[in-house]
Structure 1
Amino acid sequence: MPGSSPHLQVGQERSATPLSAREQDVLGCLAQGLSDKQLARRLGISDQTARTHRRNMLGKTAMPNVCALLYLAFHQGWLAWPGAAAGVHGCTD
């Protein structure tokens, strides 16, 4: 869906995520293509905290980079496009 941004589904069948709720928020922002600085501003956290969340997510999932992390998140059902389900988590305006 053009112009849509991915969000995390709530209450839908998906594999369990090893990520914390805040890491899931950061993941939603990364899926929208936001930089650490942009997502930090959006979520009200420091740039360093954003980088720490990203690094922790890569470690928890054993993914080598954010692209691989996002692929895993979509494949496992941790991320979905808006409108796919009611109730979403993620990085919103």
Structure 2
Amino acid sequence: MVRTALRVILEAEPDLVVVGEAATGPEAVSLVRSLAPDVVLMDVRMPEIDGIRATEQILATMPEPPRVVVVTTFENDAYVHDALRAGAAGFLLKRADPDELIGAVRLVARGDSLLFPAAVRSLAAAAAARTAGAPRAAAARWVARLTDREADVLRLMATGLSNQEMSERLGVGPQTVKTHVAAVLAKTGSRDRTQAVIAAYEGGFMRKD
């Protein structure tokens, strides 16, 4: 029923095409590998292999993996943290309205991450709980390599702003923001914006308060 509802909502948009559906984790991995979609909506809790393991398998084995958005019931679900650390581009609540769903798919398709302030705070708390000396020591090295503007961009990324929103906030062009984001990812050793934000909290660059 949920998959049918999602399909109806997404296929009503002229720029979106639903290329497949999966009922289990293994089926999701197999279909993604064969169909190569741009975006995957991955339920966190799936039969046989949960959405986290399925996400890990997809991102680790495909040369050009899709952007994965995990779908969950609770924004503070511990599974969400694990999925984001696995490389998911963000998460979407099952209670999201159609406009939020459509906006989320378009957002991650163009390379942005789907993080909400409440989720960032929750991530920060989880990161603080497991942070030890090693992550902070490693962070000290990449923090020192950030330019002032790159540091500004990382802070804004941690608030969940998109590239366009950061462009407006900083008074620079979107392409300039994109260049700074790419530099931040390279210096933090992150696959995407979400992992860069997690690294920022785990390393003490950002504080949960």
TM over 0.5: yes
> In the alignment, what sits opposite 2:191?
64
Residue 81 (structure 1) shift: 3.5
Gap runs ≥5 in structure 2: 1-117, 125-135
Q: What is the one-letter code of the residue matched to 1:57?
A: V
Question: Is it true that 1:39 corresponds to 2:166 in the alignment?
Answer: yes
TM-score, normalisation: structure 2 = 0.32
> In the alignment, what sits opposite 2:150?
23
Residue 45 (structure 1) shift: 0.8
What is the aligned residue count?
73
> In the alignment, what sits opposite 1:74?
201
Select which of 179, 184, 192 maps to 1:52.
179
Gap runs ≥5 in structure 1: 7-13, 83-93
Larger RCO (CA under 8 A, 6+ residues apart): 1
The answer to which structure has the higher helix fraction is 2
Instruction: Note the alpha carbon deviations across 1:52-78, whole angstroms, 9 max, x for none.
Output: 000011111221011111111100000
Instruction: Note the alpha carbon deviations across 1:1-49, whole angstroms, 9 max, x for none.
Output: x6xx89xxxxxxx652131111111111111111101011001111000
Please tell me whether Structure 1 or Structure 2 has the larger radius of gyration of its CA atoms: 2
Cα separation, 2, equivalents of 1:81 and 1:25: 17
Cα separation, 2, equivalents of 1:30 and 1:50: 11
Tell me, yes or no, if the aligned pair for 2:201 and 2:208 is still in contact at 8 Å: no
Residue 80 (structure 1) shift: 1.2
Identity %: 33
